Structure formats: C-alpha cells, structure tokens
Amino acid sequence: MSIAFVFPGQGAQTIGMGKALAERYPEARAVFDAVDEALGEKLSALIWEGDAEALTLTENAQPALMATSMAALAALQAEGIGLDRAAFVAGHSLGEYSALCAAGTFSLADTARLLRIRGRAMQAAVPVGEGAMAAVLGLEADAAEKVAAEAAQGDVCQLANENDPSQNVLSGSKAAIDRAVILAKEAGAKRALPLPVSAPFHCALMQPAADEMARALGEVEMKDPSVPLVANVLAESVTDAARIRDLLVEQVTGRVRWRTSVEWMAAQGVTEFWEIGAGKALSGMIRRIAKDSTCRAIGTPEDVAALKDA
C-alpha cells in the first residue's frame, strides 16, 4: 500500500471549517494562532464565525484553506500519524502551497503570507468583469482544449484545469468564455456553465500575478521537500526547491493537471489518497480518475479518529 497526501484548493472553504479540530487538538489550534500572527489579523475568527462572502474572497480563502489543511495534519501528527506515511504530496492549485508547507519547503508563516500575496495578486490581475471561467462537463481534455482554441478568436481562452476525465475548466476573457460555453455544447458537452469566480485563474491573463509571485517567492527561504511533490504543471514528482520555485510561478498562468497528476501517482503504485483539510472535492475527482483507489477525507476530529482506529 502506497499513500499520497493531497490538499484541496479554492472552492472547498466553508464557515466553521477546522473549528472542531482546534477545539479538540491544541496542536491544531496552534496552527490557526500562528497563521493569525503571520497575517497580523484574526483570520481564524473569519473562518469560524465570519461572513461566507468575505471568506470566499481569494485573498482570504487561500490562506484559510491552507490553515485548515495544516490544522488537520497537526491533528493527525498528534495521534502519531505523520507525513512519513506519504509517498507523495500534491495539492490542487493553492493546495500545492499546503502540500509544500506540510513537506517543510515553506514555514507555516511564510506559506500564509505567500497565499495572501497570491490571492491579492490574482484578484488584481484582471479588472472585475473582464475575465471568466467555465466548467465543461462530458468532454475530455483534448476536446475541451479544441473548444478553447476555437473560442479564442484573438482573445485569451485556455484549458485551465483538467480535474477528472469528464470535468475540465476553461479560463480567459469573458467574451471568449461566453463563446466557449456555446461551442462546448455544440461539441457534445453534457453541460457547459460559467463559474462564480472573481477572476480568470490559470490563464495568460494572470501574468501580472505570476510576476508578483516570482518576486515574493524570491524573498522567502525554501527547502527541498521531505516528501516528493507532484507538481500541478508537470504532473510528476519534483524534489528540488529551486525548480519548485519556478513551477509555482508557472502555475499561476499554467494548467492545473490534476487528472494527469493522479494518474501518474497511481502508476507509481499509490493506492490510497488522503485528502487533508476542508471538504471532499478532491476525493470525488480521484474516484473518477483512479477507480480502484481508496480515498479518505480528513477534516474533522471524527475523521482523524476513524483513521487512527483503522
């Protein structure tokens, strides 16, 4: 049996996430306290008792989801279940930062600050209303990419996320995405629908944010990860901190190759995927990609207890 620890991305956030972990485990509470201190504000209060719309803001959702993942990991470690159980770590978009924090590449404080910078930079890269994203269901990645190319017509339109065999996400200018929704349906997609996002992530329009992250990443200490990272833009493992720095910059405008990453891990013998943090979205995707694998979502004290007793 080989295990991968995987970390969720934006969209998994909910008010109250991680609160039960913090109440049950002092180690988990310490994670939220450290993130609050790093950011100079009580992000934990927003996560547990705040306004859902405010939590959904990219600059808040990204460090909040990372904090929740690290709190879940701390709870596991308190029960004697450590990262040494993992053959690989991986994360979906911002979850890649959580994976790297778990593997010791970044300190917790630096990860929180980087994700605050990343969230603000991604939001500021494109004026509100000028970009869009759309989910395409029922078309494989190659077909979705062809739709994007046809819809572009001089605008930006790219395949941004390969989530699973039947779910892909396009990103680009609003006009191009509007065209892509129509073209995807004509190409046989079961559904093609705009997503309620505030910016067109993982496409060329994010270049200003990539430039900002290159600057920010150049100012923090990075160590080689203790467990190999399966990088979003490579869909294979990497262990060199300098290479990871470059890949994190590329990731801002590049494709999140989640389906291919899971396929690659399964080909290396991974049979269990532990989703560390909020929600179960990755587990659903993984079950559609590696159908024979086992998925465990670990985001509550009950989840930790079930794993401990397994």
Q: How far apart are CA 80 and CA 153, in angstroms?
A: 55
Catalytic residue selected from 44, 69, 92, 93: 93
Query: In sequence order, what are the beta bridge partners of 274?
Result: 5, 296
Identify whether the C-beta of residue 237 lies closer than 8 Å to the C-beta of residue 229.
yes
Residue 176: closest CA among 205, 197, 196, 142: 205
- Give 72-75 contacts, CB < 8 A, sequence gap 24+: 72/18, 72/21, 72/28, 72/276, 72/277, 72/298, 72/299, 72/303, 72/304, 73/5, 73/102, 73/276, 74/25, 74/27, 74/28, 74/30, 74/31, 75/21, 75/24, 75/25, 75/27, 75/28, 75/301, 75/304
Cα-to-chain-centroid distance, residue 52:
19
Choose the catalytic residue: 92, 98, 173, 202. 202
Q: What are the distances in angstroms from CA 79 to CA 76, 117, 305, 306?
A: 5, 33, 9, 11
Q: Are 94 and 10 in contact (CB under 8 A)?
A: yes
Our answer to whether residue 93 is catalytic in this structure is yes
Q: Is the dihedral of CA 170, 66, 54, 16 positive or negative?
A: positive
Alpha carbons 202 and 223: distance in angstroms, whole number = 25
120/35 Cα distance (integer angstroms): 17
Annotation marks residue 198 as catalytic: no
* Catalytic residue IDs: 93, 202
